[in-house]
Structure 1
Amino acid sequence: MENEKPKNFIYEIIDEDIRTNKWGGRVHTRFPPEPNGYLHIGHAKSICLNYGIARDYNGKFNLRFDDTNPEKEETEYVESIIEDVKWLGADFEDRIFYASDYFEQMYQYAVELIKKGKAYVCDLSAEEIRKTRGTLTEPGVESPYRNRTVEENLDLFERMRKGEFPTGSKTLRAKIDMASPNLNLRDPVMYRILHAEHHRQGNKWCIYPTYDWAHGLEDSIEGITHSICTLEFENHRPLYDWFLDELNIYHPQQIEFARLNLSYTVMSKRRLLQLVKDGYVDGWDDPRMPTISGLRRRGFTPESLWNFAELVGVAKRDAMTDIALLEFAIRDDLNKRANRAMAVLDPVKVVLVNYEGEEEVEAVNNPEDPSAGTRKIKFTKELYIDRADFMEDPPKGFRRLIPGGEVRLRYAYIIKCEEVIKDDNGNIIELRCTYDPDTKSGSGASNKKVKGTIHWVSAKYAAEAEVRLYDRLFTIEDPAAEKNWLDYINPVSLKVIENAYIEPSLKDSKPGEIFQFERQGYFCVDSKYSTPEKLVFNRTVTLKDSWAKKKGQ
């Protein structure tokens, strides 16, 4: 390879395989999601790893759906997964496959094992199988049906396929070793009866393969070279190998790496589904969710997720990754690509008592990208500034507007607060100020300096917008470790500002467009709730790590 490849143990294994010509110089990986939920950022890491390997070694990459459980799988999930993988830029070309496409071949492989005396039909219930499996210190107990004849097993297995038996009444089990120190080798289930309609196969099948049985066969059929899994499958590898060796078919190499654990979130699809179904979030694509669709709606870019995956790296041991690293990755990306704009989220009116008419001031679109150019902003007598940028009784070091004090309006003039207008309840409703006409930004007409610069919008030309301020969904670092994990949902993970004001240049923004609101953070036009009449902006991330500041770090 001309491009420099990452340095991790998986690449070292592949380099050695290429050196020894183990796979004839081929590298072929896959991403095999179950279509029982939306993909999350842990899947994004796996996609980046598997596709990155194929890309770096000029190999091939498959997208394969492990659709072996019709009770939990839906076409909606399939479609969302395809969209997410494409959005990340992982090019599977025309190689999109389904485990269900291989059901007939898997069935024939099972028949082959039965004929070899290596599989049998068992009448024990799932609970009885669990109880007779044994423990880490005690061997399991053999099923009373373990020694059925080959002929009886073939007959029963065929009748299972024909639908003669009720759901859960029989299984097909591998005949391995009930005393094995590896519990996965204690006669694992290969097929179970399940009378349920499959999202692709309809009612053609009523027996479905287990993951352990299907996984290696799928890799073998597709000619995968390196079957990359997370660490929880390490103890399953001997079973993966046993099935392929007993069948004497093409045998890929399974390699395990540490899954992604991200602080202040949960990664279990079961728990994510509960958050959706119980209404804690606004769907799978809620911007607080760690799903790829949620991150995309929030304003994360494919490049930021790739950068994050590279920063996390590939390890052999599980660890907790600080969500601040993810936030760093998106800030680093958006700082270079997001155009700047001004928005006032908590407005208070400013009236320039000595200013008449209106004019345009010139603003830089992106100081990190000179090619982004400039834009014109209307400057008028009445403006809005953020309420937090004025204080009547400021603390020491406050550098914004105060009674009798001066501050510069970004790209415009220095102003001075002359009078504070309040309502009957004592709330500030208006600031009356004067402007210094000799201090226009960039004019060079005055050397006058002030310590603070604040953003603003024209009250006459600004547009109203809804702004959604998202924060972390949980208040503790590892909610998944808690029995009552839902008790730790952050009650202020979403704050909705219905009447913010944005500068006119943003009025025609399209869903998905991302901007840096100066001094506020990065914001994305929401793809779900924005309308031509009123835009909705989601905060992608703050400009700085406000969470660490809140915790006093």
Structure 2
Amino acid sequence: MSNTKGGDNKGVLKYDHTGNTFPFIALITAKLVPGYKIIVRKGLEKPELTVVQSSDCFTGNYLVAKYIARAAAPACTLYGSDAVSASRVDEWLEKIAHFKVEDVNAFAQQVQDHFIFRTFLVGFSITLADIALYARVQLTAELKAKVPSLYHFNRWFTYLNTLPAFKETLQLFAPETNNNNNNAAAGAAAAAAEDDKKKSVMGWRGNMEKLALPGLEMGKVVTRFPPEPSGYMHIGHCKAAVLNNYYATEYQGELVIRFDDTNPAKEKEEYVENILKDLKTLDLKYRRQTNTSNYFDLCEQMAEKMIRENNAYVDNTSKEEISDQRDKMIESVCRNNSIEKNLEWFEEMKKGTTFGQTCVLRAKIDMAHVDKAFRDPAFYRVNMTPHHVTGDKYKAYPLYDFACPIVDSIEGITHALRSNEYINKVNLYNYVCDILGLRRPFVSQYSRLNFTYVLLSKRKLQYFVDEGIVTGWHDPRMPTLQGIMRRGLTVEALKEFVLSQGASAVNTMMDIGKLWAINKLFIEPNVPRYTCLPEKCVLVRLSNGPAAPEQLTKPKFDKKLELGNKTVTISNSVLLEYDDAADLKEGEEVTLMSWGMNIIVRKVNKAADGSIESIDADCNPTGSFKDTKKKLTWLSATVKRVPVLLQDFDFLITKPKLEETDELKDFINPNTKFELNAFSDENILSLKVGDKVQFERRGLYICDKAGDANNAFVMIYIPDGSQKFKAGEALTPFAPRAPKKEEPKAKPAAKPAKAAAK
């Protein structure tokens, strides 16, 4: 093979279009690195690259691409920016090269999971790994068919398709398709533009219709969110609300808010008020608010209808015996009572008599049915607790399995979305509609939210409240909407998280850090930066610092100037956090952030016990921040110290997932609240409750209680999803929040100088 003519090109890449051997990787790499000329050569099975300077020839898709990437380093990072990232690229190249079609599901899911919090496979820019994966998708029909249903995988793939190097190479791969389908391309572009309107920070594109709901007609969809007012809304309820709201909004239909208030023993008006408050916070667009209690008379009529038609009977067998009989498929002795006797006993239930309180109304279906749900389920029971809406009017109340399908049908619900804990009740739901001659809504399931170390059982959350382990349902340690928003979660992040999960019915146990990582994407680019130091500080005297304090005007965040400016006071004496000061060496040069001044440590003054008392240093105005490894937060010793109380919280339980046999008391975390007394300067005096800030090198915080010059601002640390830890092993927010490569191992209790557990 001869050299190319013209010495400007570093090499000539020759290739042929041969179907599944099409050299995407080499071609795209050559387009991304200037100086490699592409020439078509017919009949060539593998791409070849002739290096102009040496006449060496490299053959093979991967080898050619690797040579170009290496030759272009370090200016080009296609092969990673260091040894670690290069090894990661090799790791992915090996996975992609050995991909087998029969493993397409597992491979696609692995890539999907990898992209949840990443834009590219390795690092922060395109590498050979991305190019190789793109090629594999284009050349493997089974994998390409999977991509649209995987939101994060599809986000990555869609982005690469917009880049010139990828678009041009794809056109070479299928020129006839690109030349003859201009109308189709224009239509696809218009659809993509419309789809982009829905694209959010995590790349979700609104493909919720993949839940395969029938009858999603524009303007005719009616969904409902039916919370039981037996507690505050937690993030699991929020998922249900957001999903139902999505379909109603997307199809210009209607969302009904219905309080499922059929159990007066657990329900309170307080819970109703706070659920409505939370729905307003979520900004759900509902037109109707109803109660199941509005239909109690109707439910009684339906129950009596079933009795008269010999489809239900009243049973005074004990609860334990009924359960045992259902397991063993044994009929109750009450099953064959006369219709008249059943109506008489049902009246006893409605009156709440002593005898009536021993009874339940059961459907008469089939005690030998293979589906246990059909073994004469209970539909009505007595509860003597006054109802928070109807008072003492009713004594017998319909159970959810009976009331829900009736009210759904009557209220015109078209699509009843329920968490998959009810998946074994779908047929029973339809049975109730059919036996009563009611229209069937379509029922579909989605997965419940399940997080490690997080309880979403209202009964267990009520225990934490009742035992005083937390201060209430709105405590920052609680997974209620009010609790997690008090801890800094944004509604936008919560909705993004729910919708990015899709409406899949597959249950998974997730790390709640994923939710906080999404939240960080919404907060971090939009909040001001301030400085906060713990009370334990060290005075640094600057021999050639300003003779008198001076004030500099700096942006609150230099990447978002619209946030305004702050005042930075500089002087010849500054304060450093004690841990930072203890890490300094004499002769060392460091940078003071915000000021931008380099200082050189001349003397570290220590007490007899070795503790740091003060530091003498010199300003170095000609020093460059690029030359220093340490960039430190500080405050002038002359500023007014505004008190700040920093708070952080740990999980309430110490086990990732509680089993049915576990006793809750055995797994309660004894130390879940940590506090540190600190101070900032007068820049924070304008903060209000709910305001979010970033304390430099310390992290994101939300103002939980506004203070003043003499009373502390209470600031709660907002998790960012980066830390991986077990309960009880979390770092408190009081160590400098510099990026860490290793997982934290120290327990809060082992850091008495940093924080005290409450």
Give the TM-score, by structure 2 length: 0.65
Give the counterpart letter for 1:418 in structure 2: R
- Residues 106-115 or 411-420, more deviating: 411-420
Structure 1 residue aligned with 2:649, among 470, 478, 489?
Answer: 470
Structure 2 residue aligned with 1:526, among 693, 704, 710?
Answer: 704
8 Å Cα contact 1:285-1:297 kept in structure 2: yes
Change in Cα spacing, 1:457 to 1:204, as seen in structure 2 (3 Å) is farther
Per residue, is there more strand in 1 or in 2? 1
Residues 1:62 and 2:265 aligned together: no
- Residues 163-172 or 254-263, more deviating: 163-172
Residues 1:434 and 2:618 aligned together: yes
Residues in 2 aligned to 1:423 and 1:83: alpha-carbon distance in whole angstroms: 56
Residues 1:35 and 2:244 aligned together: no
8 Å Cα contact 1:267-1:290 kept in structure 2: yes
8 Å Cα contact 2:409-2:438 kept in structure 1: yes
CA offsets 1:116-156 (integer angstroms, 9 cap, x no match): 1111111112122112112xxx4x22221222222222232
Equivalence for 1:407? 590
Residues in 1 aligned to 2:743 and 2:476: alpha-carbon distance in whole angstroms: 21
Equivalence for 1:391? 582
8 Å Cα contact 1:31-1:46 kept in structure 2: yes
8 Å Cα contact 2:513-2:722 kept in structure 1: no
Change in Cα spacing, 1:205 to 1:383, as seen in structure 2 (3 Å) is farther
Equivalence for 1:100? 293
Sequence identity percentage = 33
Equivalence for 1:152? 341
Equivalence for 1:79? 273
- Could you say which structure has the greater relative contact order, defined with CA pairs below 8 angstroms and 6 or more residues apart? 1
Structure 2 residue aligned with 1:510, among 674, 679, 688?
Answer: 688
Output aligned runs, 1:271-282, within 5 Å. Answer: 271-282=460-471
8 Å Cα contact 2:360-2:381 kept in structure 1: yes
Q: Post-superposition shift, 1:60?
A: 1.0
Residues in 2 aligned to 1:159 and 1:473: alpha-carbon distance in whole angstroms: 45
Change in Cα spacing, 1:448 to 1:148, as seen in structure 2 (3 Å) is closer
8 Å Cα contact 1:121-1:157 kept in structure 2: yes
8 Å Cα contact 1:194-1:208 kept in structure 2: yes
8 Å Cα contact 2:590-2:630 kept in structure 1: yes
Change in Cα spacing, 1:60 to 1:341, as seen in structure 2 (3 Å) is same
Q: What SS is found at the alignment partner of 1:108?
A: helix
Equivalence for 1:420? 604
Q: What SS is found at the alignment partner of 1:148?
A: coil
Equivalence for 2:367? 178
Q: Post-superposition shift, 1:417?
A: 2.8
Give the counterpart letter for 1:81 in structure 2: I
Give the counterpart letter for 1:283 in structure 2: G
Equivalence for 2:354? 165
Equivalence for 1:121? 314
Q: Post-superposition shift, 1:473?
A: 3.7
Residues in 2 aligned to 1:205 and 1:331: alpha-carbon distance in whole angstroms: 49
Residues in 2 aligned to 1:216 and 1:368: alpha-carbon distance in whole angstroms: 53
Structure 2 residue aligned with 1:289, among 468, 473, 478?
Answer: 478
Output aligned runs, 1:189-200, within 5 Å. Answer: 189-200=378-389
Q: What SS is found at the alignment partner of 1:496?
A: strand
Residues 1:326 and 2:515 aligned together: yes
Give the counterpart letter for 1:69 in structure 2: N
Give the counterpart letter for 2:487 in structure 1: R
Change in Cα spacing, 1:129 to 1:464, as seen in structure 2 (3 Å) is same
Q: Post-superposition shift, 1:320?
A: 0.9
Residues 1:494 and 2:694 aligned together: no
Residues 1:6 and 2:206 aligned together: yes
CA offsets 1:197-219 (integer angstroms, 9 cap, x no match): 11111111111111111111221
Equivalence for 1:395? none
Structure 1 residues not aligned, in runs of 5+ = 393-400, 440-445
Residues 1:538 and 2:728 aligned together: no
How many residue pairs are counted as aligned between the two chains?
A: 524
Residues in 2 aligned to 1:225 and 1:113: alpha-carbon distance in whole angstroms: 24
CA offsets 1:473-514 (integer angstroms, 9 cap, x no match): 4444324577145444445532111x2112321123111111
Change in Cα spacing, 1:204 to 1:88, as seen in structure 2 (3 Å) is same
Residues in 2 aligned to 1:66 and 1:342: alpha-carbon distance in whole angstroms: 48
8 Å Cα contact 1:407-1:415 kept in structure 2: yes
Equivalence for 2:282? 88
Q: Post-superposition shift, 1:386?
A: 2.1
Residues in 1 aligned to 2:526 and 2:660: alpha-carbon distance in whole angstroms: 37
- Residues 383-392 or 239-248, more deviating: 383-392
Residues in 2 aligned to 1:482 and 1:468: alpha-carbon distance in whole angstroms: 34
8 Å Cα contact 2:528-2:694 kept in structure 1: yes
Q: Post-superposition shift, 1:551?
A: 5.8
8 Å Cα contact 2:538-2:612 kept in structure 1: no
Change in Cα spacing, 1:200 to 1:407, as seen in structure 2 (3 Å) is same
Which is greater in Rg? 2
Change in Cα spacing, 1:167 to 1:417, as seen in structure 2 (3 Å) is farther
Residues in 2 aligned to 1:301 and 1:210: alpha-carbon distance in whole angstroms: 35
Q: What SS is found at the alignment partner of 1:38?
A: coil
Per residue, is there more helix in 1 or in 2? 2
Q: What SS is found at the alignment partner of 1:242?
A: helix
Output aligned runs, 1:12-27, within 5 Å. Answer: 12-14=211-213, 16-18=214-216, 26-27=220-221
- Residues 472-481 or 289-298, more deviating: 472-481
Q: Post-superposition shift, 1:357?
A: 1.4
Output aligned runs, 1:189-268, within 5 Å. Answer: 189-268=378-457
Residues in 1 aligned to 2:569 and 2:504: alpha-carbon distance in whole angstroms: 53
Residues in 2 aligned to 1:360 and 1:544: alpha-carbon distance in whole angstroms: 36
Equivalence for 2:728? none
Moved >6 Å (runs of 4+):
none
Change in Cα spacing, 1:247 to 1:103, as seen in structure 2 (3 Å) is same
Residues in 2 aligned to 1:518 and 1:543: alpha-carbon distance in whole angstroms: 18
Q: Post-superposition shift, 1:447?
A: 8.6
Q: Post-superposition shift, 1:520?
A: 0.9
Residues in 2 aligned to 1:433 and 1:489: alpha-carbon distance in whole angstroms: 49
8 Å Cα contact 1:32-1:63 kept in structure 2: yes
Q: Post-superposition shift, 1:424?
A: 5.8
Equivalence for 2:750? none
Q: Post-superposition shift, 1:470?
A: 2.3
Change in Cα spacing, 1:454 to 1:11, as seen in structure 2 (3 Å) is same
Q: Post-superposition shift, 1:236?
A: 0.8
Q: Post-superposition shift, 1:531?
A: 4.5
8 Å Cα contact 1:167-1:195 kept in structure 2: no
Change in Cα spacing, 1:130 to 1:248, as seen in structure 2 (3 Å) is same
Equivalence for 1:269? 458
Change in Cα spacing, 1:473 to 1:312, as seen in structure 2 (3 Å) is farther
Equivalence for 2:491? 302
8 Å Cα contact 2:413-2:441 kept in structure 1: yes
CA offsets 1:423-453 (integer angstroms, 9 cap, x no match): 56543343343334566xxxxxx79842321
Equivalence for 2:563? 372
8 Å Cα contact 1:193-1:207 kept in structure 2: yes
Residues in 1 aligned to 2:294 and 2:614: alpha-carbon distance in whole angstroms: 68
Residues in 1 aligned to 2:447 and 2:553: alpha-carbon distance in whole angstroms: 50
Change in Cα spacing, 1:531 to 1:198, as seen in structure 2 (3 Å) is farther
Residues in 2 aligned to 1:447 and 1:420: alpha-carbon distance in whole angstroms: 22
8 Å Cα contact 1:348-1:429 kept in structure 2: no
Q: Post-superposition shift, 1:353?
A: 4.1
Residues in 2 aligned to 1:163 and 1:490: alpha-carbon distance in whole angstroms: 43
